[in-house]
């Protein structure tokens, strides 16, 4: 395994790779959004969920997301805050925009496990994005009785504004327009996840992008991808780099940047705050 050597030398190498690559495939995980200011514990948790923390003892926003709340009114009071502050509110400290500055004139494609919509907010072309795990801004039938997703912005904003005593008004609780069962988040948590038409098209575009650049000088730029779901981004990036002698793999990850021996000669590993690294690159 290869770990960071000289920090500034690695930054210079990455800068050169970004400039000279025929194409850049960005793979982004939770660490990128953390660097952008989307923290799910500490101050932000206290600020928006103090009542839920007191009642249930949650230590971060994720744990509340899968809690079996006693009523749908309470469940949606929780989720509407969660969605609002992580999807609709402006939090980004410029991290995503800096990344966009770096690649906007290149032939790029993004694959991400993040569900917070920040790539599009920063200006990335939505036809060059594949959100594999869903989107906070979408609902689906919880069953699901059909493979379609629904934009939730209007209802979530109303829930956020009108909730009282940890409950949303009952008339705002969403139900499937087809079967009447409760709606749920379009997030991949189990096998009920709906892969709608947009999801399939994005997946096809990603495959097609990889096919079109096969054998060329591709930079696989991985940002903040941990070991929770390595089969979506990290392992495929390693394999594709190994299979293409012209490809280069770059891994930016605070404390966890490494590459396997087989591709270490063509790897750039930077163990640092992603925001600072992107600032240094721009």
Asked if residue 278 lies in contact with residue 98, where contact means CB atoms within 8 angstroms, the answer is yes
Which ranges in 57-152 belong to alpha helices (H)? 61-65, 72-83, 95-103, 118-121
Q: What is the pattern of x (binds Zn ion, CB under 5 A) and - over residues 179-198?
A: x-x-----------------
Asked if residue 113 lies in contact with residue 134, where contact means CB atoms within 8 angstroms, the answer is no
Binding segment (CB under 5 A) for Zn ion, from list 42-50, 93-101, 108-116, 173-181: 173-181
Question: In this complex, which beta carbon is closest to Zn ion, that of residue 149 or of residue 244?
Answer: 149
Question: In this complex, which beta carbon is closest to Zn ion, that of residue 30 or of residue 176?
Answer: 176
Site size for Zn ion, by CB under 5 A? 7
Question: In this complex, which beta carbon is closest to Zn ion, that of residue 118 or of residue 149?
Answer: 149
- Binding Zn ion (rule: CB under 5 A), the pick from 89, 178, 189, 216 is 178
- Binding Zn ion (rule: CB under 5 A), the pick from 23, 45, 138, 176 is 176
Question: In this complex, which beta carbon is closest to Zn ion, that of residue 50 or of residue 145?
Answer: 145
Site membership for Zn ion, residue 175 (CB under 5 A): no
Asked if residue 201 lies in contact with residue 147, where contact means CB atoms within 8 angstroms, the answer is no
Instruction: Classify residue 172 as exposed, middle or buried by CB count within 10 Å of its CB (0-12, 13-18, 19+).
Output: middle
Strand order in the sheet with 150-151: 150-151, 134-141, 183-187
Which helix (H) or strand (E) element contains residue 45? helix 42-56
Among positions 117-146, residues that touch Zn ion (CB under 5 A) are 141, 143, 145
Name 47's Cβ contacts closer than 8 Å, sequence gap at least 6. Answer: none
Q: Is 176 annotated to bind ligand?
A: yes
Short-list 131, 107, 116, CA closest to 194:
131
Task: Mark the binding-site residues for Zn(2+), compressed into ranges.
Answer: 141, 145, 176, 179
Chain residues that interact with Zn ion, rule: CB under 5 A: 141, 143, 145, 176, 178-179, 181
């Amino acid at each position: 395994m290869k770990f960071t050597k000289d920090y500034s030398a690695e930054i210079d190498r990455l800068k050169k790779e970004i400039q000279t690559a025929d194409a850049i495939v960005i793979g982004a995980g939770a660490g990128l959004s953390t660097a952008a200011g989307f923290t799910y514990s500490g101050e932000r948790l206290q600020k928006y969920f103090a009542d839920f923390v007191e009642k249930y003892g949650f230590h971060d926003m994720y744990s509340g997301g899968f809690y079996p709340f006693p009523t749908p009114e309470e469940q949606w009071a929780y989720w509407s805050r969660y969605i609002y502050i992580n999807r609709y509110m402006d939090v980004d400290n410029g991290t995503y925009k800096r990344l966009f500055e770096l690649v906007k004139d290149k032939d790029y494609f993004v694959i991400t496990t993040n569900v917070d919509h920040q790539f599009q907010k920063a200006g990335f072309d939505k036809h060059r994005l594949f959100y594999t795990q869903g989107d906070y801004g979408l609902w689906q039938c919880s069953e699901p009785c059909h493979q379609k997703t629904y934009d939730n912005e209007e209802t979530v904003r109303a829930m956020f504004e009108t909730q009282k005593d940890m409950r949303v008004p009952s008339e705002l609780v969403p139900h499937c327009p087809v079967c009447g069962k409760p709606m749920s988040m379009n997030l991949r948590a189990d096998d009920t996840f709906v892969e709608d038409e947009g999801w399939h098209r994005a997946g096809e575009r990603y495959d097609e992008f990889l096919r079109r650049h096969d054998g060329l000088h591709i930079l696989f730029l991985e940002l903040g991808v941990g070991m929770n779901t390595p089969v979506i981004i990290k392992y495929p990036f390693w394999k594709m780099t190994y299979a293409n002698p012209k490809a280069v793999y770059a891994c930016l990850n605070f404390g966890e940047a490494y590459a396997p021996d087989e591709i270490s000669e063509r790897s750039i590993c930077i163990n640092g705050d992603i925001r600072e690294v992107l600032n240094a690159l721009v």
